[in-house]
Amino acid sequence: MPDSQPPLPDAARADPNAPIGRNRQFRLLFICLLVIGAGNSMLLAVAPPLVRELNLPDSSVGWIFSLSALLWVFCSPYWGRLSDRVGRKPIAALGLAAYAVSMAAFGAMVMLGQFGILTGFGLFVGLMLARSIFGAFGSASSPAAQAYIADRTSVYERTGHLAGLTSAFALGQAFGPAICAALAAWLGLVFPIGLIAVLAAGAAFAVWRYLPENTPPKVERPRGEWRQSLALINDRRISAYLVYGFALSVVAGVTVQVFGLFTMDRLGVAGEDGAELTAAGFMVNALALLATQMAVLPRLQMGPRALMAWGAGLLALGVGIQIAAPSLGALLVAQAVQGLGAGLARPGFTGGASVAVRPHEQGAAAGLVVATNGAGFVFSPLIGGVAYERFGMNVPLIIAVALLIGMTIFALRSRRLRNIIVDGPSPTDPTNP
C-alpha cells in the first residue's frame, strides 16, 4: 500500500534496498516489539499480586490470558496472509493500535475491581475480554513485522535478522519489569498498564506515518487462499517446526504464568513486594535471552535443528533449577538459564520455518509461527494454574521438564527439520569478524 505521507527529503528518505538492520525500517519495527515486550512483561509481573488483591483465584492468572491466546491462534494466520495482500505497514499499525486499546481496557477493569464496582465472576470476565482484544487484533503486528523482515533478507541472513527483531521483544521484557516495579511502588499497580497503552498508541502512529512500504500489494486475492494458508500446517516443510513451536509455547505459558505465584509462595511475599521480585526474575530471564540472541547466536553458526535441541535442553535445566531453588538468588539463576535456552530455541524454530517456505508464502508462514507461539497459552492454564492449585507448586514445572526433554529428542531425531545453517556470514558485511 503506498505511503500516505508526503515525500521525504533525499537525506531522510529510507533506502528500500538498504540492509534491513541498518535503516529506519528495522528501527521502527524494533521499537514496536520493544513496546509489546515491555507491556507483556509488565502485565505478567503485576497479574499475580493483582488477582490476589482483587480476591480472584490463583488459576485466574492463566485463564485471563487463555481467550486472548485462543483468538491469537486463529487470527494470526489471517493477519499474516492479509499482509501479503495489502502490505505489511497497515497490518502492523493496526496490531499496535489494538494493543493500546487492550491495555487501556485492562487497566480500566482493574480500577473497577479496586473500587468495588466489579467483583467476582463479572470482574474476571471483564479482564478476560479486555485482554482478548490483544489476541484478536493485536496479533496482527508480529506476523506483519516478521514478513517485512523476510521480504528484505536472504535465506542466509534471515535467522539472524529475525533474532535481532525478537531481541527487541526481549529488551522490552528485560527493562519492562524493572520499570514496572518502580512505578508500581510509587504509583500503584495500575499505572504501568496505562503507560504502556500510551506508548503503544504512539508506536502505532509512528509505524503508520514513517515505515516505508515498498512491497506492492496483490491486485486480487485468489479464491481458496485462506485454505492454502492453513494447509501449510500439514506441509512437510514446516509441520515439524510448528509441532516444536507449539510445545515451546506450552512450556513458556506454564513457566511464565506460575513464576509469580511460585516466587511469592516460595519466598513468602505478597502485593508490591511480590510484583518487585517477580519483575526481577523476568528481567534476568529477558537479559539472558537478549545476550544470547545479540552476542552468542551470531557466533555459533548452528542450524535450526541444533539451536532447537540445545535450547530445549537448557530450558529443561533452568526449570529443574527453579524446582530446587531455595532462595531468590537461585530463582534468578534458574531464570537466567531459561532465558539462555529460549534465546536459542525460538530463533531456531522461527528461522527454520521461514527458510522452509517460498517467498510468496512468507506472510502465511509468519502468521502460523506467531499463532503457534500463542497456541500453548490456550492449554497452559490447565497445566499451570489448575495443576498449581490442585496438586502443588512443583507439579506444573515437572510437566514442563518432561515436555522439554521430549522436545530435545524430537529436535535431534526428526527428519523433517532442515539441518542447514541459515545465518551464515556475508562477505559484504564489514561487521562480521
Residue ranges of domains in the chain, CATH in brackets: 21-215+233-413 (1.20.1250.20)
Stronger pLDDT, 26 or 52, i.e. the higher one: 52
- Tell me, rounded to whole angstroms, the distance of Cα 167 from its chain centroid: 10
Distance CA 184, CA 181 (A): 5
DSSP code of residue 232: G
Instruction: Using the predicted structure, report yes or no on whether residue 403 has a pLDDT greater than 90.
Output: yes
Cell of 360: 510468496
Contact between 133 and 100 under an 8 Å Cβ cutoff? The reply is: no
pLDDT at 164: 67
For the chain, give the number of residues: 433
User: Per-residue confidence at 21, pLDDT binned at 50, 70, 90?
Assistant: very low
- Rounded alpha-carbon distances, angstroms, from residue 175 to 106, 171, 272, 350, 395: 21, 6, 17, 24, 30
Stronger pLDDT, 65 or 128, i.e. the higher one: 128
3-class SS letters over the chain: CCCCCCCCCCCCCCCCCCCHHHCHHHHHHHHHHHHHHHHHHHHHHHHHHHHHHCCCCCCHHHHHHHHHHHHHHHHHHHHHHHHHHHCHHHHHHHHHHHHHHHHHHHHHHHHHHHCCCCCHHHHHHHHHHHHHHHHHCHHHHHHHHHHHHHHCCCHHHHHHHHHHHHHHHHHHHHHHHHHHHHHHHHHCCCHHHHHHHHHHHHHHHHHHHHCCCCCCCCCCCCCCHHHHHHHHHHCCCCHHHHHHHHHHHHHHHHHHHHHHHHHHHHHCCCHHHHHHHHHHHHHHHHHHHHHHHHHHHHHHCCCHHHHHHHHHHHHHHHHHHHHHCCCHHHHHHHHHHHHHHHHHHHHHHHHHHHHHCCHHHHHHHHHHHHHHHHHHHHHHHHHHHHHHHHHCCCHHHHHHHHHHHHHHHHHHHCCCCCCCCCCCCCCCCCCCC
pLDDT at 424: 36
Instruction: Using the predicted structure, report yes or no on whether residue 130 has a pLDDT greater than 90.
Output: yes
Instruction: Using the predicted structure, report yes or no on whether residue 168 has a pLDDT greater than 70.
Output: yes
User: Per-residue confidence at 96, pLDDT binned at 50, 70, 90?
Assistant: very high
Mean pLDDT lowest among 211-215, 266-270, 313-317, 372-376: 211-215
pLDDT tens figures, 230-287: 666 666 777 788 889 899 989 988 898 888 889 988 998 876 677 778 878 888 887 8
Instruction: Using the predicted structure, report yes or no on whether residue 432 has a pLDDT greater than 90.
Output: no
Which of 19-33, 278-292, 357-371 holds the top average pLDDT?
A: 278-292
pLDDT tens figures, 35-58: 887 887 778 777 778 888 888 887
Mean pLDDT lowest among 67-71, 91-95, 207-211, 422-426: 422-426
- Rounded alpha-carbon distances, angstroms, from residue 396 to 46, 102, 186, 213, 316: 20, 28, 33, 44, 13
Contact between 386 and 254 under an 8 Å Cβ cutoff? The reply is: no
Stronger pLDDT, 106 or 148, i.e. the higher one: 106
Distance CA 153, CA 159 (A): 9
Distance CA 245, CA 380 (A): 14
Stronger pLDDT, 123 or 365, i.e. the higher one: 123
Contacts of 15 (CB under 8 A, 6+ apart): 23
DSSP code of residue 424: P
